[in-house]
């Protein structure tokens, strides 16, 4: 349970220790609540949107994250210099660093997130597994050991196929699938090297690989008074290289009974570490609908908007209210999931060239609007995509009363979205929205990498989609000769846009 000193903490000025769309998301929540804001920025982000939007902004170093957004000392210094009383870390960077959370506490700053000890316990995957087991939470069978020899021995009881996973960090780094014993030594060495480079910790452990599984996560909220609730599930199985690319809520395969069981387990896991703030419990769901604890993300998730849309709960504002010592405004019985929401991560990458990152200046950025469409972004015309940070340009989120309506709106929104100057993965998302397997919910965590190809573009399967495309063409004033077939248009969103401009002129 949180201490009385934390319960009585109040703040009116907050520093956002992040950049891009999540910095903008936090800034907007603060402005709505009347909280003054402080932004930090690197050389590369001198003209970034979050710098312009905040009440104050401070330079913290060169472009590489290790020299700026990962500099805990500089961020604490800016907070003290600016008079900020709290720090929101967003996601990524320092958001799951227990050391940083502790530094905030030691310097009299409110850390918008869980207590340092909760981050420490859930941040180490082996410790998190042990904590989950003690709380009665089902976990994927696994094994551990300090040396490669001990891990090779443990693999005999875990069984193959299995995963070698980094104990620290996430995002697919330090992770290697192994299908036979002969490949295990090499996978251990590679995973250790990658984990050491990414997290400064080469510790790894083993986990049985559950094939054809689905990645389901449960959003939780916990206040400083012992109240914990869940906000239902998100379907996050569509991944590439262990990175989520499309998420939706609710899940196609989770019914109300399973939702409540998973939600109760997620709440128990959060209570086991005296959790406070927003967090996410991630599960693997097998073909028989058995679910297993994977890990806990002790921060706000990239995909939190879809939960906000189907529950009506502003998760970032709730984080801020909780940090101010407020009790949760909702009880579990108040949470009702209504409608359907889908999120597509719009990245600067070339889906026709092995998703190679694309850098350069964005010359045109026309975001889609209209009923049920939300775009969270930090870019604008003239913004430069650099190699220093991840390639995400925006999050395109569409809501509908049904999954079908959400998909139709996403198709429209993707068609409207215009980005020039860099290549994007918009064609990938268009392709996925037309995929028979996606439409019918027949996918798992390996679907994108093993059974999905950009060259196999399918035509839209519904009459509604054809009608929608015709209406869009009419609204845009296009002549019939300018309307191209899906396969041709999908050569690239930015190429098609250029063609449309030339024809119009």
**Which secondary structure element, helix H or strand E, spans residue 376, and what is its range?**
strand 373-377
Annotated active-site residue in 25, 299, 412, 418: 299
| Residues sharing a CB contact under 8 Å with residue 381, sequence separation 6 or more, in sequence order | 362, 363, 364, 365
Distance CA 318, CA 433 (A): 32
Q: At what angle do helices 20-33 and 315-323 cross, to 10 degrees?
A: 60
Dist. CA 444–CA 27, nearest whole Å = 35
How many Å apart are CA 504 and CA 474, to the nearest integer?
13
Say how far apart CA 392 and CA 384 lie, in whole Å. Answer: 12
- DSSP-derived 3-state class of residue 494: helix
Residue 25 annotated in active site = no
Helix, coil or strand: residue 312: coil
Q: 426-433 vs 493-504: helix axis angle to the nearest 10?
A: 100
Q: Which regions of 170-306 does DSSP assign to beta strands (E)? A: 176-178, 204-208, 214-222, 228-240, 243-249, 277-285, 291-297
CA nearest neighbour of 213 among 233, 191, 188, 239: 239
Buried b (16+ CB within 10 A) or exposed e, 243-276: bbbbbbbbbbbbeeebbeebbebbbebbebbbbb
- Compute φ and ψ for 285, nearest 5 degrees: -110, 125
- Asked if 350 contacts 423 with a C-beta cutoff of 8 angstroms, the reply is yes
Report residue 214 CA to chain centroid gap: 16
- Complete DSSP assignment for 209-241: --TT-EEEEEEEEE-TTS-EEEEEEEEEEEEET
Helix/strand/coil for 377: strand
Paired strand residues for 353: none
In whole angstroms, what separates CA 82 from the centre of its chain? 30
Residues forming the active site: 299
């Amino acid at each position: 349970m949180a201490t009385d000193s934390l319960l009585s903490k109040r703040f009116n000025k907050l520093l956002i220790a992040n950049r891009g769309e999540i910095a903008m998301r936090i800034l907007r929540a603060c402005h709505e609540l009347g909280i003054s804001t402080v932004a930090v920025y690197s050389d590369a982000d001198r003209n970034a949107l979050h710098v312009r939007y905040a009440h104050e902004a401070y330079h913290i170093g060169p472009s590489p994250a290790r020299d700026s957004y990962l500099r805990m000392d500089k961020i604490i210094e800016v907070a003290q210099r600016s008079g900020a009383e709290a720090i929101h870390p967003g996601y990524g960077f320092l958001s799951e660093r227990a050391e940083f959370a502790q530094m905030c506490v030691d310097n009299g700053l409110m850390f918008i997130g869980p207590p340092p000890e909760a981050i420490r316990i859930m941040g180490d995957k082996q410790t998190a597994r042990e904590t989950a087991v003690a709380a009665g939470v089902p976990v994927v069978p696994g094994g551990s050991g300090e040396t490669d020899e001990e891990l090779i021995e443990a693999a005999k009881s875990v069984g193959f196929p299995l995963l070698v996973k980094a104990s620290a960090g996430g995002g697919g780094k330090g992770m290697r699938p192994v299908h036979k014993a002969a490949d295990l030594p090499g996978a251990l060495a590679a995973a250790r090297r990658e984990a050491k480079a990414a997290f400064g910790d080469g510790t790894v452990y083993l986990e049985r690989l559950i094939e054809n599984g689905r990645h389901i996560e449960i959003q939780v909220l916990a206040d400083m008074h012992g109240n914990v609730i869940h906000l239902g599930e998100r379907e996050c199985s569509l991944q590439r290289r262990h990175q989520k690319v499309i998420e939706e809520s609710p899940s196609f395969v989770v019914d109300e009974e399973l939702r409540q069981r998973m939600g109760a387990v997620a709440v128990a896991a959060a209570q086991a570490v005296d959790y406070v703030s927003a967090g996410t419990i991630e599960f693997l769901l097998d073909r028989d609908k058995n679910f297993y604890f994977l890990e806990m993300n002790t921060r706000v998730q990239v995909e939190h908007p879809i939960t906000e849309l189907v529950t009506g709960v502003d998760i970032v504002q709730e984080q801020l209210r909780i940090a101010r010592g407020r009790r949760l405004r909702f009880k579990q019985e108040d949470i009702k999931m209504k409608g359907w929401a889908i999120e597509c991560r719009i990245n600067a990458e070339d889906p026709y060239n092995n998703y190679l990152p694309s850098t350069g200046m964005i010359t045109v950025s026309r975001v889609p609007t209209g009923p049920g469409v939300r775009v969270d972004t930090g870019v604008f015309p003239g913004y430069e995509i650099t190699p220093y940070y991840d390639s995400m340009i925006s999050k395109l989120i569409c809501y509908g009363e049904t999954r079908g309506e959400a998909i139709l709106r996403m198709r429209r929104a993707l068609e409207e979205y215009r980005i020039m100057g860099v290549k994007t993965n918009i064609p990938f998302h268009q392709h996925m929205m037309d995929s028979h397997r996606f439409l019918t919910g027949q996918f798992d965590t390996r679907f994108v990498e093993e059974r999905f190809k950009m060259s196999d573009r399918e035509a839209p399967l519904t009459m509604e989609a054809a009608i929608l495309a015709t209406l869009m063409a009419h609204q845009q004033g296009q002549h019939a000769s300018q309307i191209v077939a899906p396969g041709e248009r999908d050569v690239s969103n930015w190429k098609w846009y250029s063609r449309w401009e030339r024809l119009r002129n």
